[in-house]
Amino acid sequence: MPLIATLVIAALIIGFEQFVQLKFGAMGLIAFVLLSIGIKAKNTYIGGIGAFILVVLLTQTG
């Protein structure tokens, strides 16, 4: 059962990453990677930079 759960979570993460890249381009992918690294490494500085870039991309008009 843990193998199936791990595969499902991995598929969801890859799907979300592809959505971010499609919607926001390379900068969105970079922001998502920074946010992920910050969370995994428990580094609030890197995670904060990634979150800030995602917020800026989400609030852009046009």
Q: What is the pLDDT of residues 9-48, one digit of tens each?
A: 889 988 888 887 788 888 888 888 898 899 999 999 999 9
- Provide φ and ψ at 61, rounded to 5°: -100, 150
CB 32 within 8 A of CB 47: no
**Count of domains forming the chain:** 1
Separation between Cα atoms, residue 24 and residue 57, nearest integer Å: 7
Domain of 49?
Answer: 2-59
Mind giving me the DSSP string for the chain?
A: -HHHHHHHHHHHHHHHHHHHHHHHHHHHHHHHHHHHHHHHHT-HHHHHHHHHHHHHHHH---
3 pLDDT higher than 90: no
Q: What is the pLDDT of residue 48?
A: 94
pLDDT for position 44 = 92
pTM above 0.75, yes or no: no
